[in-house]
Amino acid sequence: MGKSNKFAWTWTIKEEVLDDYVKLHEEPWQEVLDEHTKAGIQNYSIFQNGAQFFYCFECEDVERAFAYIAESEACNKWNAITSTMVKGSFDFNRAEPIKPLREVFYLK
């Protein structure tokens, strides 16, 4: 089995803001989408299971992408809002803002 260039993680959203969190992602800010594209993030999907969300994207250089997003004014504004909604933090300026899941299988 080889490794892919896919990355994933999960977050649990606080019940009292669940609808607001979903609405934000149904109508995302264009500048945040543009910044993710500039960072090299592609094929980004978010799946919902109740209050748990599963995030998956592809990226050739995830460290560079996360560093780019950490410096993005638009992404920092977005993350300031969404970080209050998750049990955890989207703040890319933290030492460990997101813990990617370990890929254990990849079928090309």
Residues 36-61 have pLDDT tens digits of 999 999 999 999 999 999 999 999 99
Helix 30-39 vs helix 73-82: angle between axes, to the nearest 10 degrees?
110
Answer whether 100's CB lies under 8 Å from 9's CB: yes
pTM: 0.84
In this structure, which CATH number among 3.30.70.100, 3.40.50.10420, 2.60.120.560, 3.40.50.150 belongs to the domain 6-82?
A: 3.30.70.100
Lowest mean pLDDT among 28-32, 57-61, 89-93, 100-104: 89-93
- For residue 37, the model assigns a pLDDT of 98
Residues 72-98 have pLDDT tens digits of 999 999 988 998 898 876 655 565 556
21 pLDDT above the threshold of 60: yes
Q: Is 39 helix (H, G, I), strand (E, B) or coil?
A: helix
